[in-house]
Amino acid sequence: MKIGFGCDHTAVDLKKALMEHLTERGHECVDYGSYDPQAKDNYPEFGLKVAEAIKAGEVEKGVLICGTGVGISLAANKVPGIRACVCSEPYTAKLTVEHNNANIIAMGARVVGTELAKMIVDTFFEAEFQGGRHAERIAMIADIEKKYSR
């Protein structure tokens, strides 16, 4: 799978570790920044870059990391069709794909350590959307997006 990565300055090291981990597992990783842990950059820029890359078909899914995972996921979720979910443990990462067909996982570098983050992304990328009643709910979310994007 081709995966887009984005982070702010707080998460450069965790991003690198996760990209290496997923590359070892056979995924292709694309780095959309940030690259400098000393920079004081803005997480919305990187959330948007990854969300737009998914929308354009450059990558299939994404991983976003900031201090908590919340801000960067909020930015990504402004792009129609993006479902970015913050996860701090594997169970939520599994269900966010199975039930919500999430296409971006977000997490906080100040919340999870490297080994837990690896477990979270492994679970996220191994999970499969269940469809059925969940597909109806995803369609409802898409209808909300359409209503407010006019």
Active-site pick, 7, 66, 85, 87: 66
Q: Where does the pLDDT of residue 17 fall: very low under 50, low under 70, confident under 90, or very high at 90 and above?
A: very high
Q: How far apart are CA 140 and CA 137, in angstroms?
A: 5
Answer whether 0.85 is exceeded by the pTM: yes
Which pLDDT belongs to residue 138? 96
Helix (H, G, I), strand (E, B) or coil at 121: helix
Q: How far apart are CA 111 and CA 43, in angstroms?
A: 16
- 66 as an active site residue: the answer is yes
For 100, counting Cβ atoms within 10 Å of its Cβ (0-12 exposed, 13-18 middle, 19+ buried), the class is: middle
How large is the average pLDDT for residues 97-110?
98
Which pLDDT belongs to residue 24? 98
> Is a pLDDT exceeding 80 seen at residue 115?
yes
Active-site pick, 21, 27, 99, 134: 99
User: Angle at CA 64, nearest 5°, toward 73 and 4?
Assistant: 125
- 21 as an active site residue: the answer is no
- Average model confidence (pLDDT) across the chain: 97
Sheet strand arrangement including 28-31: 28-31, 2-7, 61-66, 104-108, 84-86
